[in-house]
C-alpha cells in the first residue's frame, strides 16, 4: 500500500527513482537523495539497485543451470532438470529455425538472454512496496527492483548485441564486405551517400529498437502496478491480480522477442552477399 506520508505524485516519483551512486557537484561521492541530485551526478553515476538485481539474477541463472547439470539423471530427472531441458530444447529449436550460419556461440547466447531477461522481468511481479519497504528499514532511500525498467540496463544489453553484430559482420564478410554492404546496397555504387545513410540508419536502429522495446513494455507494466498500489486496499486486489496474470504473458513475450531479434540480427550478420 502507498505510504500515508507521501502524496500520490511523490509516491510514484519515489518508486520510479533508482538508487544512484556518483559524484556530487561539490566533489564528494555518495548516494543521491532525489532526482535532482541524481541528474547532477552526470553520465558516470551508477544505479546500484539495477546492478544488484541484474548481476544477482545472472548469478542465480548460472547457479540453477549448473546445479541441474551436475545432478543430471536419465532414470529419475528432477523438476529442475526437466525445466532446464525444456528451456534448452526450446532455445535450440528457435536457433535452428532462425539462424542460418554456423556458430557455436549463438545457442548459448540465446539461452542466456532468454532466461536472464525473463528473470529480470519477473521481478515486476513482486509487490511494489515489499522490497522498497525492507530497504527503507535499512536506511536505503530508493530501491527499484526491476532491472529492465532501467533504460541503462536495456541499452547495455542491446549495445552488447550490437557489438557482436559488428564483430561477426566483419569476421564473416571482411572489412571490405561489411563496408560494401553499407555503401553499395540497395542502389549500387552511383548512390553511395544515400546507400550509406539508409543502411547506417537501419544498422543503428537495431540496438535502439532492442533497448526501447524491452524498456517501454516493462516500464509501462511497472507504472501500472504503482498506480494500482495508490488505490484503496480492496480495489488493489481486484485490479492487481488480473493485471499480474496478464503481465506474465508480457514478461515471457518480451524475453522471447529480445532473444529472437538477437538471433535474427546475428543471422543477418553471418549472411555474405
**Locus of grid cell 569476421:** 171
The verdict on whether 213 is a catalytic residue reads yes
Catalytic residue among 3, 103, 152, 213: 213
Catalytic residue among 73, 209, 240, 267: 209
Q: How far is C-alpha 273 from the chain's CA centre?
A: 32
The verdict on whether 240 is a catalytic residue reads no
Phi, psi values for residue 21, rounded to 5°? -120, 135
Instruction: Give DSSP secondary structure letters for 84-149.
Output: HHHHHHHHHHHHHHH--S--TTHHHHHHHHHHHHHHHHHGGGS-TTHHHHHHHHTT-S-----GGG
Q: Round to whole Å and give the CA distance between 233 and 223.
A: 17
Catalytic residue among 121, 169, 217, 240: 217
The verdict on whether 217 is a catalytic residue reads yes
Omega before residue 186 within 30° of 0, cis: yes
* Residues catalogued as catalytic: 209, 213, 217
Amino acid at each position: 500500500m502507498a505510504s500515508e506520508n507521501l502524496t500520490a505524485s511523490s509516491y510514484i516519483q519515489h518508486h520510479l527513482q533508482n538508487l544512484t551512486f556518483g559524484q556530487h557537484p561539490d566533489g564528494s561521492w555518495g548516494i543521491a537523495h532525489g532526482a535532482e541530485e541524481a541528474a547532477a551526478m552526470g553520465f558516470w553515476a551508477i544505479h546500484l539497485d539495477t546492478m544488484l538485481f541484474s548481476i544477482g539474477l545472472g548469478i542465480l541463472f548460472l547457479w540453477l543451470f549448473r546445479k541441474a547439470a551436475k545432478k543430471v539423471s536419465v532414470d529419475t530427472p528432477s523438476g529442475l532438470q526437466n525445466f532446464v531441458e525444456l528451456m534448452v530444447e526450446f532455445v535450440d529449436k528457435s536457433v535452428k529455425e532462425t539462424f542460418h550460419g554456423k556458430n557455436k556461440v549463438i545457442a548459448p547466447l540465446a539461452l542466456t538472454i532468454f532466461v536472464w531477461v525473463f528473470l529480470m522481468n519477473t521481478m515486476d511481479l513482486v509487490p511494489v512496496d515489499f522490497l522498497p519497504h525492507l530497504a527503507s528499514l535499512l536506511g536505503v532511500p530508493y530501491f527499484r527492483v526491476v532491472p529492465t525498467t532501467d533504460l541503462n540496463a536495456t541499452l547495455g544489453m542491446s549495445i552488447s548485441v550490437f557489438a557482436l553484430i559488428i564483430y561477426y559482420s566483419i569476421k564473416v564478410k571482411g572489412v571490405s564486405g561489411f563496408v560494401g554492404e553499407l555503401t553499395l546496397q540497395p542502389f549500387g555504387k552511383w548512390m553511395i551517400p544515400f546507400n550509406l545513410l539508409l543502411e547506417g540508419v537501419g544498422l543503428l536502429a537495431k540496438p535502439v529498437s532492442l533497448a526501447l522495446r524491452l524498456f517501454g513494455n516493462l516500464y509501462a507494466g511497472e507504472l501500472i502496478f504503482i498506480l494500482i498500489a495508490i488505490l484503496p486496499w480492496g480495489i488493489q486486489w481486484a485490479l492487481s491480480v488480473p493485471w499480474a496474470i496478464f503481465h506474465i504473458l508480457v514478461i515471457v513475450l518480451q524475453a522471447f522477442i529480445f532473444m529472437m531479434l538477437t538471433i535474427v540480427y546475428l543471422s543477418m550478420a553471418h549472411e555474405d552477399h
